[in-house]
Structure 1
Amino acid sequence: MERPMLVLPDVDEPAGLNAFPVLYWNHAGLQLNRITHSLRGPQGGPTMSSRALGLLHLAMHDAFFGALGHDEQSSPATWLRDVNRPPLDRSIQATEANANAALTAAAITILERLYCAPGEVCDAASNALRDAMRNFKSPFGVALEAGSPAHHYGVTIAEKVHSALAVLPGEPGADQGDYRPRGGRYHFDDEPLNPVRLADVDPRDASKGQKAQRVYHGPFYGATVKTFAATDPNGHRIADWPRPPDPEYIAALEEVQRLGGAPLLNTTHRTADETVAAYFWAYDGANLIGTPPRLYNQILRHIAWSRSDASLSDFDRSKEFVRLFALANVAMADAGKFAWAEKYRHDLWRPLSGIRQHDASAFASETGSAMVTPPADPFWLALGAPETNSDRLSFKPPFPAYPSGHATFGAACFQMARLYYASNGTATVDRNGVDDIGFTFVSEEMNGVSRDLHQPYDPSSPIEDQPGLVRTYVKRNFPSLWHAIWENAFSRIWLGVHWRFDAFDYQDTGRGPDADGRERYKDPADVGYSHVWTAKRKAGDPLPIGGVPLGLGIANDIFDSGMRQQAEEMPKARSTPQQSKITDTTY
């Protein structure tokens, strides 16, 4: 079978970023993210893609700083505890060259383990990934001396990190196993617009046809994968969502019905700016684009480059980049674990189901109703997560709503950046409020290149040469990372795939309805959010609501504890889905 080509659009950023080895390999990881989501390769979805980037950056971090001899006066502690870190060969001097050689060896080792393992189900993705890896191995000037002590040290570090944290063969990871939704009122279930997807019976032989497949992402993930660096694995939880007759539930339903509906519905009253923001932050595993952790890394690259002191030596700048990107990606890796644990614990349906099935007549087991009354609408459609660079329909993500993964990932990443820049004195940051880290960014969802195609995508042709409705180029400005955290969370309401309480508690962010009953929100600069996880939280203390405080707390925990390897979690349930802690609540 001939290998399909995959022509990736160029990434618009300064060329100088990839002259730094850590940013080069970050770029490689982000490229592999969008390749695998274009060709259905390994490490797919928001959970596994965040884990892949966490493994990559943690291995690079420990190889880089470990090769420098772990001098706490000039470099941070490694994630690996002293007892688990391999001894440093005395011939490895604490030089920039050796640190980057170890980092490069660690990066290649992790990426090959994650993306180039033999026997992948989809040969097309595996071949494209292997081709990409061969290209990535000819970088910017770090010699790949496989026999050097520094190279060997980096490989050894990567193997230890991978062994400690990767999803191993036979473990469920993000696979759905034999999970099926329990269904019923308020519970997550198949969506009416895309209840099944057609998958090749044999990815190696298209002539065998296709079969219908119901897709559920990560039902066992949060309960089975290992924690990276959060010190309180059982503490990062959120309160129950506001159940009826709580008026907040109806208010959230009416809001997402109005703001998140399909454009042609007469009930949709979303502004052009809100639609732009909805698409700007999407990255829902889209063709040529990938997942939210890729977007947050792209923004972090932009911020890190613009704020880096060019008067410093490349060595000192590298130290900053290595530490910052490890902190942020480890925070997102743990954000994926804890968000998915909470998603399947709370098991809440998405707005597309909630609005269409709000009326009692939607369930045969209930008494029914004399008439379908608002806010129920059995024909409501969401704007939906966009299937960018394809001709497929928009969709709702195939996992429960509460909390929002976007809100959790974004808050964890951007909070970590805020804490890092506050700690080195280069930014003014209120840990629970606004900062002065402003930025301007162009999302690949709205870059004047990505488009909604009129025909199936052709991987051998540049997307620029394929007919479709081109997304307008929009350059979006944010006065602070705190503002970005909130818009990222709000964007999911405007897509119609999340309730507002999936992201935050309206009591903390809202100003009450206007004269027309439309909810008003505080400017993010006026929001002080202190109701998050702390090391001093006691059993029985009220839990926060939504993904924003969940992500903030995860970042605070990891940053304050120094991003160190934690003791083995007990009890462990890592062998089969049937042993998952969530079985009783999701079947």
Structure 2
Amino acid sequence: MTTLSSIRKWGVAAFTALAVAVPVAAAPTPATAAATSFDHILYWNDVLLKAYRQTGGPPTVLSRAGAMLHIALFDTHTAISNIGTPYLTSGVNRDPSATYDLKANLDVAAYNLLQLELFPGIDFSSDFQKARLDAPNYEPGPGGFSTSIAESVVDNIRLNRANDGSTDNTPYTPSTEPGQWRPTDGAAAASPNWGRVRPFALTSGSQFRPAPPGGYSTAQTLLASHDYAVQVNEVRALGAANSTTRTATQTQIAYFWANDVDGTYKPPGQLFKLTQTVAKQRGLSQAANAKLFALVGMAMGDAAITAWDAKYQTDIDLWRPVTAIREAGTDGNGETEADTAWQPLSNNAGVPFSPNFPAYVSGHATFGGAWAGIMRRYFGTDSITFTATTEDPHAVGVTRTFTSFTAASVENARSRVYLGVHYQWDGDNGVAAGDAVAGHVFANYLR
């Protein structure tokens, strides 16, 4: 097993020893040796997605991990290549007599952060060894190869995110008042304090807080409105498990974007994978990927904080459609009708479920809006065609092709209505909030 002590300082012998620790065939193949064009940013993003699958849990924690990893990789790349402005401008430890191999420092930064901080329960040593097959093939300076830059960057990131509020486990007390969220499947509220986590780029989680659903400031006025009835009745028809209104294509869309169950790469992971798809298609360099993935990671990290602020830190913690439909008799609205047997299309191994947090706004939609906002700004156009994939168990092998980033994010948001777990305004306002987050991140960071 690779340990921290075995990778802290690198000389020629250390690189050689690790390289030969993994069997290499006489005629190396891509399975046993890094390709000439091996991109360490894409590689560690894939390792991150593997960690997402292994750990599961809410997308809040996962998005924070993605932001931290890719900030660390960007800052390491910037410190060594002297290209770009780092996220954290504090100094790094540099030995003037040492040689700083870029790829080795990227690998150490990723390994140290993943292993020591983000996912300590997972052993990343084999991932690290595979990355180091792309070892330096040149002689270092008199001080040997060093990874002190990577170590300093990781120390800075860990210090920067210490006490950011992400470990606040203050319990949430659900309300029994009509309109207010309560557990739908026996699971406690997930990440109820995440809206108070210190953002990566925003001034606060409420900086881009969307207006309340429908613009109604109280649950009572919301529930009594025609707008509310329209929203509920739409998802009642389109999102039911036994819907006769939803088309086969809409059902496919619902499952394609879901990735709610553990064992998948979850919503942030799907969007990271789409970023990989476009980056490879456009032939981006490792340096370009370092910046792109850091921007996407930061935007999605702050999108989670923004969405969870709207979910929990406002006067209306909106109940999920399954509760709204089953308890329509309590909403005081003559345009809605109770159906105590209604179930959403969303299910885990055949058991219906709704994610265990309030409906408004949609986290999926906010992530999607943030992702599309960064991609559109980064590439300078929205008109890029790409084919997306999914890991949801109900959509194995399904792909969908889009002609713009915005089209993908809008479909992602709409999918939650078809799945029966959100109202349309959850999606519309989530996409808008996510795009606002992306605009702020892109305009102010990593320039």
Q: Shorter-chain-normalised TM-score: which range?
A: 0.7 to 0.9
Q: Distance in 2 between matches of 1:234 and 1:350?
A: 22
Residue number in structure 2 paired with 1:85: 91
Q: Equivalent residues in 2 for 1:283-302 (5 A)?
A: 283-284=259-260, 286-302=261-277
Matched to 1:403, the amino acid is: V
Distance 2:322 2:68 in 1: 35
> Is 1:482 equivalent to 2:365 in the alignment?
no
- Unpaired runs of 5+ residues, structure 2, are 1-33, 215-221
Q: Distance in 2 between matches of 1:92 and 1:318?
A: 23
TM-score by length of 1: 0.64
- Corresponding residue for 2:13? none
TM-fit CA distance, 1:359: 1.1
**Counterpart amino acid of residue 283 in structure 2:** S
Query: Cα deviations across residues 420-456 of structure 1 (Å, max 9, x unaligned)?
Result: 111xxxxxx2xxxxx21111123122xxxx46xxxxx
SS of residue matched to 2:101: helix
C-alpha deviation, 1:22, in angstroms: 1.0
Cα distance change on mapping 1:252 and 1:103 into 2, 3 Å: same
> What value does the CA root-mean-square deviation take over the aligned residues?
2.6
SS of the aligned residue for 1:444 comes to coil
Change (3 A) 1:142 1:152: farther
Distance 1:375 1:561 in 2: 48
1:379 aligns with 2:341: yes
Q: Note the 1:315-326 alignment, pairs <5 A.
A: 317-326=285-294
User: Which letter does structure 1 place at the counterpart of 2:125?
Assistant: R
Pairs aligned (count): 399
Match of 2:431 among 548, 552, 561: 548
The 3-state SS of whatever aligns with 1:477 is strand
Give the CA deviation at 1:476. Answer: 1.2
Asked if residue 397 in structure 1 is aligned to residue 376 in structure 2, the reply is no
Deviations 1:321-346 (A, max 9, x none): 10000000110001111111111023
**TM-score computed with the length of structure 2 as normaliser:** 0.83
Distance 1:51 1:493 in 2: 26
CA, structure 1 residues 294+401, in 2 after alignment: closer, same or farther (shift >3 Å)? same
- Does 2:220 align with 1:248? no
Specify whether residues 329 and 438 from structure 1 end up closer, same or farther in structure 2 by C-alpha distance, changes over 3 A only: same
Q: 2:379 aligns with which of 421, 427, 444?
A: 421
Deviation at 1:270, TM superposition (A): 0.3
- Would you tell me which structure has more helix in proportion to its own residues? 2
* Cα distance per residue 1:357-416 (max 9 Å; x no partner): 1113x8xxx9xx9xx9843322211112x42xxx36131000011100000011101210
SS in 2 for 1:440: strand
- Asked if the contact 1:241/1:501 (under 8 Å) is kept, the reply is yes
Q: Choose from 247, 272, 279 the match for 2:248.
A: 272
Q: Deviations over 1:231-277 (max 9, x none)?
A: 565421110112143322111111101110112x5xx4100001000
Name the CA distance, whole Å, in 2 between partners of 1:412 and 1:373: 35
Give the conservation status (yes or no) of the 8 Å contact 1:55–1:166: no
Q: Does 1:340 align with 2:353?
A: no
- Residue 139 of structure 1 aligns to a residue in which SS? helix
> The residue matched to 2:387 in structure 1 has which SS?
strand
What does 1:149-228 correspond to in 2, within 5 Å?
150-166=146-162, 173=167, 175=169, 177-191=170-184, 194=185, 196=186, 214-223=187-196, 225-228=197-200
Query: SS of 1:250's equivalent?
Result: helix
Q: Give the match's secondary structure for 1:397.
A: coil
1:459 corresponds to which residue? none
Change over 3 Å in CA distance of 1:101–1:236 after alignment to 2:
same
Q: Is the 8 A contact 2:41 2:289 kept in 1?
A: yes
Alignment CA distance shift 1:373-1:420 (3 Å) = closer
Distance 1:239 1:273 in 2: 31
With over 3 angstroms needed to count, the CA separation of the structure-2 counterparts of 1:416 and 1:23, relative to structure 1, is same
Conserved 8 A contact 1:231-1:557? no
Report deviation, 1:166. 5.0
Q: Distance in 1 between matches of 2:144 and 2:206?
A: 42
Distance 1:472 1:50, change over 3 A: closer
8 Å contact kept, 2:343–2:352: no
Matched, 1:59 2:32: no
Q: Sequence identity of aligned pairs in percent? A: 31
- Residue of structure 2 equivalent to 1:525: none
Shift of 1:500: 0.6
What secondary structure does 1:219 align onto? Answer: coil
Tell me by how many angstroms 1:56 deviates. 0.5
Aligned residue identity for 2:322: L
Q: 1:478-515: CA deviations, max 9, x gaps?
A: 111110010000000000100111111xxxxxxxxxxx
Match of 1:327 in 2: 295
Equivalent position of 1:24 in the other structure: 43
2:388 is matched by which residue type in structure 1?
Answer: F
- 1:37-186 alignment to 2 at 5 Å? 37=56, 44-68=57-81, 70=82, 75-81=83-89, 84-91=90-97, 98-117=101-120, 126=121, 129-130=122-123, 133-140=124-131, 141-143=133-135, 150-166=146-162, 173=167, 175=169, 177-186=170-179
Give, in whole Å, the separation in 2 of the partners of 1:18 and 1:443.
26
Q: Report the alpha carbon displacement of residue 58 of structure 1 after superposing the two structures with TM.
A: 0.4
